[in-house]
Structure 1
Amino acid sequence: MKRLFPLLLFALVILACGGGEETASEAPETEDVAAAPDIDTDRIWKVRCIACHGLNGDMGTNGAANLQEATSDMAYRVNIITNGSENGVMTAFKDILTPEEIQAMAKHTMQFNENL
């Protein structure tokens, strides 16, 4: 049992990790709207994103995009969070987060690149 736990933990981290800048194939229609005030993007980040993207968006675990260097627009970010990346590195969150949470998280990721 002690040998199985680290393997299980490792598998969960890999499955939860996000990924690189891929070409969006099905970008949903989206507006650049402010995040709803009742969505705790910091909590979602800590629970769903920090394992691969890190605290400041630049950790890059398992090929996760460096969000400090990312220049993608909101529509692309919403698509990647919703559907995952084409290479399968980024997990799709369409069945985990609400559309409003996805929109809020896409906006949240913009803060990591101050040059946008």
Structure 2
Amino acid sequence: MRKGLVFIAIAALIYACGGSSDSASNNTQANAQAVAAAAKPDGEKIYKQYCVTCHGLYGDMGASGAYNLQESALTLEERINVITNGRKAMTAFEALLEEKEIKAVAKYTMKLGQ
């Protein structure tokens, strides 16, 4: 009986430690995907963090003189410029966000008008 329990305990330990190389491969793929996701900024998340206060969740709030992003005819490049350098009462985000984050926010704001 004791030998049976020892055998089951050892088998459970081996199984728990991941005795196959497939799990290591899956972990490597999951880590690579996590790194890729971290490298690509989430424009919607950044928008919700910095822009919702004035532009609103859907881009049409207009607080503090903010433009209605749903009606904006600005191109992607123009939006990047406005976010980077600011406009009128809007603060410049050049010092707060990286270039790729600004571009991600600009891309996200293009979706608000659809």
Q: Normalising by the residue count of structure 2, what TM-score does the alignment of the two structures yield?
A: 0.64
Matched, 1:112 2:103: no
Kept in 1: contact 2:43–2:107 (CA 8 A): no
Q: Partner of 2:103 in structure 1?
A: 103
Q: In the TM superposition, what whole-angstrom CA distance separates every residue of 1:25-44 from its partner, at most 9, and x where no partner exists? A: xxxxxxxxxxx853122221
State the 1:102 CA deviation. 0.5
Cα deviation code 1:60-99 (max 9, x no counterpart): 00000100100110111000000001x2x11100000000
Task: Report the number of matched residues.
Answer: 77
Partner of 1:78: 80
TM-score of the two chains, using structure 1 as the length reference: 0.63
* DSSP 3-state at the match of 2:112: coil
Identity across aligned pairs (percent)? 48
Q: How does 1:1-116 map to 2 (within 5 A)?
A: 37=37, 38-85=40-87, 87=88, 89-114=89-114
Name the CA distance, whole Å, in 1 between partners of 2:58 and 2:79: 17
How well do the aligned residues superpose, as a CA RMSD in angstroms?
Answer: 1.4
Q: Which runs of 4+ in 1 moved over 2 A?
A: none
Q: Distance in 2 between matches of 1:41 and 1:96?
A: 14
Gaps of 5+ in 2: 1-35
Q: Distance in 2 between matches of 1:76 and 1:65?
A: 14
In structure 1, distance between residues paired with 2:98 and 2:82: 14
